[in-house]
Amino acid sequence: MYLGVDIGTFESKGVIVDRAGRVLAQASRPHRMLVPQAGWAEHRPDEDWWGDFVFITRALLTASRIDPKAIRAVATSAIGPCLLAMDADGRALGNGILYGVDTRATREIADLNRQIGADVILARCGNQLTSQSVGPKILWLNRNRPDVWARAAKLVTSTTFLTHRLTGRYVIDHYTAANFSPLYDLARQDWCLDLAALCRLDQLPELMWSTEIAGVVTAAAAAETGLAAGTPVTCGTIDAAAEAVSVGVTRPGEMMMMYGSTIFIIQIAAKPLNDFRLWHAPWLFQGQRAAMAGLATSGTLTHWLRDTLARDLAPDTAFAELTQEAMASPKGAKGLICLPYFSGERTPIHDPQARGAFFGLNLTHTRGDIYRAALEGIAAATRHITDTYAEAGSPPTRVLAVGGGTRNRPWLQATSDFTGLPQEVARVTIGASYGDCWLAARALGDAAEIHEWNPVAETVQPEPVPAYDRQYPLFLRLYEATRDIAHAL
């Protein structure tokens, strides 16, 4: 049996599966994303990352009554790329700074681009500097938290933190490390410090591949988690990568569309795309590469709408009722357009100062229209990304959808309708923790092909929607027309 735990933005999930991929136990635990001020996003590493891992692992073992010694391997994934400073004794020095939804390092991005050259960074690292990049956040930490910087023995991401607590080793997979621009050389697949002296080499984790065994569960970790000491632990990876694996993204041209707190997209690329609007990294296995994209606000926008406009609804049924209201609204939401840039935007515009908007409101619009417009705004922003892949010379050959948002039918259908792409939904949609289990089995040479574990259950076909054909160009124009206003605000 294999155990996988994934730490998400708002919730952590875990699962135990057998060698055939059958789910034997599941557990989850919610937590909050801290927003100390606009543009910042943080987690508490001891409580939200390790605390969730311990809670979920113990819950899985208790519910399943499985002997911990029967767990052949453990794999973790987590939100990323994050930045956390740790001291020489392995203690976290404050909160973890989250991935691209945290836009605090805008000034540092500009300074590094000016110092190094944006073209040099793109050529060497395969990625331009954006809010997704860890390098500028390291510089921000140095400038703004000198007390923390003076004690920072290690600069890690969320999975590195978890693997260290389990095994005592500081490791990071190549896929995650590629997001540490300008500190990772994509061609050499190694750290590089010659572009900018942002830190020391010994402050960075050791590079590994996602299916390599990083170490084994220590006695101390076993006492906390209930796992058996000596259980192998893989290097781990970012949640989106494990999620892509979980639904069978394995061949060039295949694309995962993850419906979560953000829309995140991964495509296995047959060739280097070298498009500054996308992110690039080695894939989880040697010899493969990937091109990524992501929105900044997706599921988080639906949460905001629920908490702001649906306080009259019971929390456990609010989303279901909002979905019904949205389905009662006609496609196109009676002429209402939503810019879903409530946390700025990542790909393809890379504008941390972009802002959200509902445009076209009139006194006939209802809460259902507003909710539908938000889902359609996210779908339109997703089309902006899939069009970017096509413009870069790599249109998707197959799209596999995964994540909690796939249960939101109007969102799922609007995405196919806007993009014109069919979306395949696998039988198991647990997500990253299920992919972690497969990676754990793969690390030991036990795994069958993932499509044998998790075959496709249904395909969502695109439908022609004249309202979308009319509104999509207006969606693009609305951002261009309001960009200067948003920046001024």
Tell me the per-residue pLDDT of 389-415, one tens digit each, with 9 for 90 and over.
Answer: 999 999 999 999 998 889 999 999 999
Residue 188 has pLDDT above 90, yes or no: yes
Query: Which pLDDT score is estimated for 403?
Result: 85
Please state, in angstroms and rounded to a whole number, the distance separating the CA atoms of residues 43 and 46: 9
pLDDT digit string, tens, across residues 365-382:
999 999 999 999 999 999
Share above pLDDT 70 across residues of the chain, in percent, rounded to a whole number: 100
Is the pLDDT reported for residue 106 higher than 80?
A: yes
**pLDDT category, 107, cuts 50, 70, 90?**
very high
| pLDDT 10s digits, 22-57 | 999 999 999 999 999 988 999 999 999 999 999 999
Q: What are the CA-CA distances from residue 266 to residues 3, 92, 258, 324 (Å)?
A: 24, 30, 9, 30
CB distance 113 to 481 below 8 Å: no
pTM: 0.86
Tell me: pLDDT of 82 over 90. yes
pLDDT at 62: 96
- Structural domains in the chain plus CATH codes: 2-241 (3.30.420.40), 250-428+455-489 (3.30.420.40)
Nearest CA-CA partner of 42 in 85, 101, 118, 125: 101
Mean pLDDT of 349-365: 96
Q: Which residues contact 344 (CB under 8 A, 6 or more apart)?
A: 39, 103, 131, 296, 351, 352, 353, 354, 355
Q: What is the pLDDT of residue 210?
A: 93
> Given a cut of 80, is residue 447 above it in pLDDT?
no
Q: What is the spatial distance between Cα 100 and Cα 10, in angstroms, rounded to a whole number?
A: 15
What mean pLDDT do residues 380-389 have?
98
For residues 245 and 439, give the distance between their C-alpha atoms in angstroms, rounded to a whole number: 8
